[in-house]
Copies of this chain bind each other. A is one copy, B any other.
């Protein structure tokens, strides 16, 4: 039995750290999870739509977590121009994130059309920026589209964009279905796929009436979770960690209409060790969490960064904190309840990378 693991620091290729008090609480916790690379989502308020905003946000985050290398993204919207893409790439912005709602502006009968963005994609392909896709189409009961099949129904769009831009790097974010895994595998080497911590653990039953497990895309059938576990266990190099960790105050979760998101940031590697151990793939954890994402993105280490490695040790009673106060001084900001709150994860970081 493996009782200790030493690996490089992890790379989280899909992360929400918010703004204001929440950002101040969450950002320093990135390193606590054994993570040194954070690929930051642009869905702030307002969204990050240009290079200046991205760089300003990045400098805020760097001030809060100097040990972390941050990669920034822009929010795909009709305002984005080819010129802005070139400018962003030159400034080191790594990707452009597409959300369902951002593309429904020009949708036809509920089917999304990305074609208005083809000039943008062309420019991204040229400058080597990555397209990050939230792969769901909006629910539409008249076409039998709901949260359970929204991802599967999106997949033809992924294949279409990939066919039109075979050299454009595309990441299908937070895959939750066997259909998504199969589609990404079928695509060429420029298509990757991020997988969250929680989707390796949860099925639909777990979020039925349980708001802290409710996220988008929702966790699906057991056979879907098995497909995620299987592709990770196979060591497929285009499937890598992107936690989609998304903190929400508890009072916006335990309510009549919960916000979507699961908070995993402070314990990313302990969670992964627990889950990978349970499905018998501890030996695949390092590539999944530390190497494959970086390889796909083609990212080297930050200049001057020395990774001292992370050591995880198997222990009894490694209890996940029940909650994290958003603010040390402002109680009304509430608390964030982490994934597997109050549960024993059985693995602890005894030496961190910095």
Contact = CB atoms under 8 A, between A and B. Distances in A.
Contact of A337 (B145, B221, B256): B256
A209 B258 contact: yes
A210 B147 contact: no
Contact of A209 (B143, B149, B257, B341): B257
Q: How large is the interface on A (under 10, 10 to 19, 20 to 34, 35 or more residues)?
A: 20 to 34
A204 B144 CA distance: 11
5 contacts: A141-B222, A143-B222, A146-B203, A207-B209, A209-B260
Contacts of A144: 221-223
Contact of A222 (B145, B209, B255): B145
A259 B209 contact: yes
Contacts of A225: 141
Interface string A188-214: 000000000000000111011111101
Contact of A211 (B148, B205, B211, B223): B211
B257 A139 contact: no
A203 B204 CA distance: 14
Given A142-B222, A144-B221, A211-B256, 5 more contacts: A144-B223, A147-B208, A210-B256, A210-B258, A211-B258
A27 B141 CA distance: 35
Nearest to A259: B209
Nearest to A255: B254
Interface string A241-266: 00000000000001111111000000
Nearest to A149: B221
Nearest to A140: B222
A149 B211 CA distance: 21
A249 to B, nearest CB: 14
Contacts of A141: 203, 222, 225
